């Protein structure tokens, strides 16, 4: 499933670069890098597990495109310009908040919890 999602994202990204398509939306790449632990110093998941990151951009959730057991994850969005980006670690019960930042294309932004958000 993860590979299938990545292929879909890759296709979406490739098609965004094809200027021959008249109405192809321009996509921004949003890359997140989470710190090694939660703000309280504990591991993101049980038994020292890595987080399962996803973002919420301007109230649009990318939960369906989350990465599994990874400190980094890339997302592709049709949002442009300034974006308010929340970062979350998907869990079975309650998702862990991993910071929020206002960011825009061409910038690397750091949340108050040490998560970096890079928009390209």
Question: Judged by CB under 5 A, does residue 54 bind Ca ion?
Answer: no
Residue 38 CB, shortest distance to Ca ion, in Å, is 7
Q: Is 99 in the site for Ca ion (CB under 5 A)?
A: no
Alpha-carbon 3 to chain mean position: 16
Is residue 86 at the binding interface for Ca ion, with CB under 5 A as the rule? no
Q: CA angle 19-21-25, nearest 5°?
A: 80
Tell me the window of 20-28, 36-44, 69-77, 102-110 that interacts with Ca ion (CB under 5 A). 36-44
96 belongs to the binding site for Ca ion (CB under 5 A): yes
Structure tokens given for 81: 């310009």
Q: Which of 64, 51, 63 is nearest to 5 (CA)?
A: 64
Among 75, 87, 88, 89, binds Ca ion (CB under 5 A): 89
HSE-up of residue 98 (Cα within 13 Å, Cβ side): 31
Residues that bind Ca ion (CB under 5 A): 44-45, 89, 91, 96
């Amino acid at each position: 499933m993860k590979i299938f999602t990545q292929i879909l994202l890759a296709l979406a990204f490739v098609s965004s670069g094809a200027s021959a398509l008249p109405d192809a939306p321009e996509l921004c790449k949003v890359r997140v890098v989470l710190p090694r632990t939660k703000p309280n110093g504990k591991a993101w998941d049980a038994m020292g597990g890595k987080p399962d990151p996803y973002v919420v951009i301007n109230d649009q959730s990318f939960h369906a495109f989350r990465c599994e057991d990874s400190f980094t994850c890339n997302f592709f969005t049709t949002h442009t310009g300034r974006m308010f980006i929340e970062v979350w670690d998907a869990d079975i019960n309650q998702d862990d908040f991993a910071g929020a930042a206002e960011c825009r294309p061409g910038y690397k932004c750091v949340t108050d919890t040490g998560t970096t958000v890079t928009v390209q």
